[in-house]
């Protein structure tokens, strides 16, 4: 089962290596890992996507919680949340195929951010599923380069029972 885990961590050198090492030491693979500063420069937020059964993920979450540099851990498994991944993709685009590719990108609400003689560079954000769908459609044209940020996630403002995140704390 796919789990999206958010960890608020101290913004200090070595934290990323420490967290990644904890996963590695337990033979556990990270599908996606994103780290970025928060509004408070003392902290960063890590968003980790991992595939595993609930019991294993719960053990990993508890191990993360024990690390001194980790302030708070949340598994979004039973929470309403939104997630996004950002992708830039350069695809072969002859002048004859360019309009066709631009139309496909528009259907996904993507943007062409660079035009060259024989290629287009595209930007798209959305769920992993949305990005994979566009990649599949553009593959026949010839993907020249692809870069993705990885998943970031945030709890929705209101839960289905009307409570907010602030109510839970």
pLDDT tens for residues 10-47? 999 999 998 888 888 877 888 899 999 999 999 999 99
Maximal CA-CA distance, the chain:
57
Query: Has residue 142 got a pLDDT over 90?
Result: yes
- Judging by DSSP bridges, how do beta strands 70-75 and 119-126 pair with one another? unpaired
Band (161; pLDDT cuts 50, 70, 90): low
Q: What's the pLDDT score for residue 58?
A: 86
pLDDT tens-digit profile of 109-119? 999 999 999 99
What pTM value is reported for the model? 0.80
**93 backbone dihedrals φ, ψ, rounded to 5°:** -145, 95
Distance CA 34, CA 45 (A): 8
Query: Has residue 164 got a pLDDT over 60?
Result: no
82-152, superfamily in CATH? ACT-like. Chain A, domain 2 (3.30.70.1150)
Q: What's the pLDDT score for residue 54?
A: 83
Q: What is each CA distance from 104 to 3, 88, 100, in whole angstroms?
A: 30, 15, 6
Q: What's the pLDDT score for residue 159?
A: 55
More confident residue, 168 or 16: 16
Query: Has residue 98 got a pLDDT over 90?
Result: yes
Domain borders along the chain are 2-79, 82-152
- What CATH class does 2-79 carry? alpha beta
Query: Has residue 163 got a pLDDT over 80?
Result: no
- Asked if domains 2-79 and 82-152 share a fold, the reply is yes
Indicate the average pLDDT of the chain. 90
Alpha helices (H) in the chain, listed in sequence order: 15-25, 54-66, 98-107, 128-138, 165-168
Cα distance between the two ends of the chain? 27
């Amino acid at each position: 089962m796919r789990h999206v885990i958010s960890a608020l961590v101290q913004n200090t050198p070595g934290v990323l290596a420490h967290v990644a090492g904890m996963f590695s030491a337990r033979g556990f693979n990270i599908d996606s890992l994103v780290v970025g500063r928060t509004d408070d420069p003392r902290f960063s937020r890590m968003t980790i996507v991992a595939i595993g059964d609930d019991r294993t993920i719960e053990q990993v979450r508890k191990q993360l919680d024990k690390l001194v540099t980790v302030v708070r851990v949340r598994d979004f498994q039973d929470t309403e949340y939104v997630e996004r991944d950002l992708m830039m993709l350069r695809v072969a685009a002859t002048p004859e195929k360019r309009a066709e590719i631009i139309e496909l990108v528009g259907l996904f609400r993507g943007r062409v951010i660079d035009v060259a003689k024989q290629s287009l560079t595209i930007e798209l954000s959305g769920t992993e599923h949305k990005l994979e769908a566009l990649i599949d459609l553009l593959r026949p044209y010839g993907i020249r380069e692809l870069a993705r940020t990885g998943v970031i996630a945030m709890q929705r403002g209101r839960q289905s029972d009307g409570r907010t995140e602030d109510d839970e704390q």
